Amino acid sequence: MFPWVDGFHWTATHIIFLSLFFSAILIILSTLVRGIWRAYSDFRAHRATAMCWRENFIALPEADRRCRHQLAGRVDFRTCDNAFDCRGCPNYANFAELPASPPTGSAGVSFSNKLLYHRGHTWVRPEEDGSYTIGLDEFAQCLVGRPDSVKLPTQCEDIESEGIAWRMTKHGHEIRVRAPLTGTVVSTGGPDKGWYLKILPYGPVNLRHLLSGPEVAGWLAAETQRLQLQLCSSDAGPCLADGGTLLPDLMDAEPNADWDTVLGSTFLDS
């Protein structure tokens, strides 16, 4: 195999054969190394969380990737092509200028005008001391009810926007809640406290990707409708969905529904 090993011959056949073999091995191994190196570079450049989110986003069904402007009634139909990150969306400004026409009537679940909402069903409240409080919105709370367990990050731990803020389990389902902002955890709450995390962001804060005002109603109405369709059993006939509010503790009320799909759509986990 090598010149110093018995059986090596300095003949054309031998050398061509081994050259081709070594080249093939080199190409194969270098491809592997390149893949590992590129992945490592992504982690070093702090691109990993954003990339993971993007991969996750692409894997979501198209129905779960509606642009906020469609939900707000600014456009008829638009699928988000920027992983819900309006902060970097080149088209955001164009659509934001259009008049919004949110649906009238109940959104099916209550919300507050003072809070900013993330598409992963968390709310954000800026505090006076510069920190931000993060909680689970009414929609998610109705769905999950009281979680069986909650795994919050510890104090001084960092969370990254579009990364995982905290995890919950309910009836054996693991729920990964997306972080709406980047920052360091100052204190932790829980389902009893009405909020889950208080964070102190580092760097400039851009909240453009969070929903507020009329958009929230449109979004929650669409979410409620989606939920209704997903929970509807397949052998039911056509139903008229004309409003009403979500009941709390849905997972307890209907333990046999396809919660896997529902939770994935709700918390944007593919």
Partner 1 sequence: MSETILLDRRWIARGAERSSTLHFLLWLAPWVFLLLLGIYAAGLCFYYGLNQTNMDNRFAFGMWIFLDLSVIAMGAGAFFTGFLVYILKQNDLKPMLNSAVVIGLTCYSGAVAVLMVDVGQPLRAWFTFWYPNTHSMLTEVTFCISCYLLVLILEYIPVLLRNRQLRKIPSFLIFEHQFHKLVPVLAGVGTFLSFFHQGSLGGLYGVLRGRPFAYRQGFAIWPSTFFLFILSALAVGPSFLMLVVATAEKITGRQLVQQGVFRKLGFISGVLLALYIAAKAVDTYIWLNFTSPALGFGPVDFYSYWPLSSTFLFIATVPLGLFPAILFVVPRTARHRGLLLLAAVLTCGGVLLNRFVMTVQTLALPTLPFDEFLKYTPSWQEVATFGGVIAYGVIVYSLSYRYLPLFEAPKGEDKHVSLG
Binding footprint of partner 1 on the chain (CB under 8 A) = 1, 5-7, 9, 11, 13-14, 17-18, 21, 24-25, 27-28, 31-32, 34-36, 38-39, 42-43, 47-52, 54-59, 61, 81-83, 85, 87-89, 172-174, 176, 260-261, 264, 269-270
Report whether 267 contacts 173 (CB < 8 A): no
CB of 81 to partner 1, least distance (A): 6
Least distance in Å: CB of 112 to partner 1?
27
Q: Given the complex with partner 1, which of 89 and 185 has the nearer CB atom?
A: 89
Q: Alpha carbon of 259 to those of 61, 71, 252: distances in Å?
A: 16, 24, 11
- Residue 84 Cβ vs partner 1, minimum distance, rounded to whole Å: 9
Integer Cα distance of 69 and 58 in angstroms: 19
**Between residues 53 and 111, which has the closer beta carbon with respect to partner 1?**
53
CB of 47 to partner 1, least distance (A): 7
- As given in the structure block, the two tokens for residue 135 are 């909680």
Question: In this structure, what are the phi and psi dihedrals at residue 11, rounded to the nearest 5 degrees?
Answer: -115, 160
Decide whether 36 or 247 has the Cβ nearer to partner 1.
36
In the complex, minimum distance from the CB of residue 148 to partner 1, in angstroms, rounded to a whole number: 12
In 3D, which of 127, 122, 113 has the Cα closest to residue 187?
A: 127
Nearer Cβ to partner 1, position 17 or 202? 17
* Alpha-carbon gap, residue 127 to 46, rounded angstroms: 27
Least Å distance, CB 123 to partner 1, is: 21
Nearer to partner 1 among residue 54 and residue 146 (C-beta): 54
Closest CB to partner 1 among 102 and 264? 264
Which residues, at least 6 apart from 53, have a Cβ–Cβ distance to it below 8 Å? 83, 162, 163, 178
Contact 120, 196 (CB under 8 A): no
Residue matched to tokens 């929970």: 231
Nearest to 187 by CA among 135, 232, 230: 135
